Structure 1
């Protein structure tokens, strides 16, 4: 399976994290070497790390976003950054549909890939708060047949430290997905692709972004609640968070308006329209859909722990190094990079980044309609990096791609 789809599993399927995962999208990625930040019009201080979003800064952002759009050959992108007392910047660039030339708009729905992981893990942590599960419970207590299931804990699954192979890296899975991208997958099928491979390391020995972890956590939630995962996330996470257009699809349905998505993770290797692909293969790791207002709201809710007890949120934010960088770490279904907290997401045709900078109470959301890598990097990372070099030069979102 190609590196990008492997990340996708987290990304495509769930897209997400740092680059880390492709994730089936995923998105996580390790921290790249530091580089000089772009000059900003307004000065920033250590105790005031976010610039005033003046017209001059907005012009800088326009230029930077357009530059990445052209260099990375991204069809269209939506960008929103804001902070209390600093103003806000909300723009769309490029096209939503390459065939018709329809412009990208800020009111579109997009597939969010591995950003789904943040919802699944929040639902799990709410069960922890209710005393229904324990973070240090072994997964074997809830799901039978898991390699090392008597020793791998729910905490290690949420923190990407289980040692389980990611199903999105299995060649047969990749072939099945790209040959028949509209077909549905069940969680049990996805685990079958993963469990044919030996475990990669002992539980908690190191970090490895695996979409398999989230499929297992989704099954735990269903077993404990007796409900479908999508219903639990809607009732216990989406509604309490005040989100209006965030959904967990049961198939390939896609609320309108939405942009067309473009990917090269195809059977032919050529760029194809993946808008109607069935995201069930991402399930708890990457199947969800959202829009700009909801992702802006969710970035804050997630990072500040509005839905969780303070002690549980503190456990979530115990970031473990993911790449030996002091600026990047993975917690429980969430990561930090350059001081920003949140997650990314990537699956065939779409990528998102939704982050929160606690020092400035700032949010950054990027949504785009391709997952095609540019010089080995997620295009969403390139946008996040260019934006934060301007608005928070002391806190740059700088993920590096994962090696094959």
Structure 2
């Protein structure tokens, strides 16, 4: 598909801030009281020792993940908790600079790209697919960028398409044309009238990336580098199209047979996830990312206000506490306070990244097996309880 810039590329990609970590002090940056937390959590605050015992127990249970690493940061002070191993073959411990598949937390990156372009005037939140991507089905034409970012678009999810599933089953390392993933569902109507309800769809963020490319004439991978990696100083983050993982990395496992975990770190090609979940990063980089992204450091206050117009909706898998959805971000209201972020799951990996609305306190919680409501709903509820306790440990730190 020919992609031409709507305006000069240098104007679209001009720097937003002299320093992206200049954080505006607004009323949006206040921790608000929380409602009841996830079922099964202990009342009151949690210290690091208690949290460490919980993640040790979670790893040691039959069917538990081989490894967990959690990175909690308050200002310049960092605490790292870990359990299990990064690699069952060697017994190496998880490290904050290990690469990992970040799964659907990559959707926050497409949100960062899109909102940065809105801030620069290259895109509008009410721009439609018909206006920006007229090659897509006309029946999808009224869907807006805003609806894509908060999952109210009604686009059918390409990951649920039988033909896509068949290709993946025949060859998990199949190299997909990432820019044509929506072709798998192009013959399907919208699932509901755009804006009428919430439904998480991986197709949404593919469309977001294509819109960004259409208005800039620039590949999405390059937009990530220019608008996200460089300003937030992400040194070990990339969007590959193959199945290889750069060393060193957290190995991801299939633990459906607890007696014989299978290393599936390099089983799947990232090309089938692309802007919806294909990024590889590290706990260090994800900490930098979520501190900048949650605080709105990449764009102005007006865009932050639009991003934080919360609606009913949960990330996938659901994050800690009560979930509500914004534009490329979720609000997690726990018993200890509010954090903003995103979750994700990919074969071999489950992720949570979150930060306080001012970006000063952050949490990166990475697991080396896939846990979701389909594969293991009971274990997911255990995980959400531990994640909520992690938020409490983060927010109780008085430094």
TM-score of the aligned structures, taking structure 2 as reference length:
0.79
Give secondary structure in 2 for the equivalent of 1:81: strand
Root-mean-square deviation (Å): 3.0
| Residue 330 (structure 2) aligned to one of 327, 335, 338 | 335
Is the contact made by 1:353 and 1:384 (CA closer than 8 Å) also made in structure 2? no
Cα 1:380–1:185 shift into 2, 3 Å = farther
Matched with 1:351 is 350
Q: Does 1:38 align with 2:42?
A: yes
Gaps of 5+ in 2: 1-34
Q: Distance between the aligned counterparts of 1:254 and 1:190, measured in 2?
A: 22
Q: Find the aligned partners of 1:172 and 1:378 in 2 and give their Cα distance.
A: 30
1:136 aligned onto 2:135? no
Give distance in 1, aligned partners of 2:286 and 2:384.
15
Separation in 1 of the partners of 2:380 and 2:228?
25
Residue 221 (structure 2) aligned to one of 207, 230, 253: 230
User: Does the residue aligned with 1:114 lie in a helix, a strand or coil?
Assistant: helix
Structure 1: which 5+ residue stretches go unaligned? 1-30, 45-50, 52-56, 397-404
Q: Could you say if the C-alpha distance between residues 337 and 307 of structure 1 is closer, same or farther in structure 2, counting changes exceeding 3 Å?
A: same
Residue of 65, 78, 83 corresponding to 1:93: 83
In 2, Cα distance between equivalents of 1:301 and 1:33: 26
1:188 to partner: Cα distance? 4.6
State the alpha-carbon separation in 1 of the partners of residues 40 and 381 from structure 2.
Answer: 17
CA displacement at 1:259 relative to structure 2:
2.2
Within 2, Cα distance between the matches of 1:128 and 1:271?
45
Equivalent pair of 1:388/1:395 in contact (CA under 8 Å): no
Q: TM-score, normalised by structure 1?
A: 0.78
- The one-character-per-residue Cα deviations of 1:68-93 (angstroms, maximum 9, x if unpaired) are 222351011111123249x5420222
Distance 1:378 1:107 in 2: 30
Q: Which moved more, 1:338-347 or 1:243-252?
A: 243-252
Equivalence for 1:119: 109
Supply the distance in 1 between the matched residues of 2:294 and 2:378 (Cα, whole angstroms).
Answer: 22
Give the deviation of 1:32 after TM superposition.
Answer: 9.6
User: Structure 1 residue 77 and structure 2 residue 68: aligned?
Assistant: yes
CA distance in 2, matches of 1:37, 1:394: 15
Measured in 2, the distance between the counterparts of 1:34 and 1:344 equals 16
Query: SS of the residue aligned with 1:337?
Result: strand
Alpha-carbon distance between aligned partners in 1 of 2:112 and 2:129, rounded to the nearest angstrom: 17
Q: Output one character per residue of 1:247-277: Cα deviation in whole Å (capped at 9) or x when no partner.
A: 1113234221002212379xxxx96432222
Asked if the contact 1:279–1:287 (Cα under 8 Å) also holds between the matched residues in 2, the reply is yes
Note if 1:293 corresponds to 2:280.
Answer: no
Measured in 1, the distance between the counterparts of 2:233 and 2:330 equals 23
Q: Which residue matches 2:376?
A: 376
CA distance in 2, matches of 1:311, 1:176: 43
User: Partner residue of 1:58?
Assistant: 48
Q: Is the 8 A contact 1:372 1:378 kept in 2?
A: no
Distance 1:360 1:302 in 2: 8
- What is the total number of aligned residue pairs between the two structures? 347
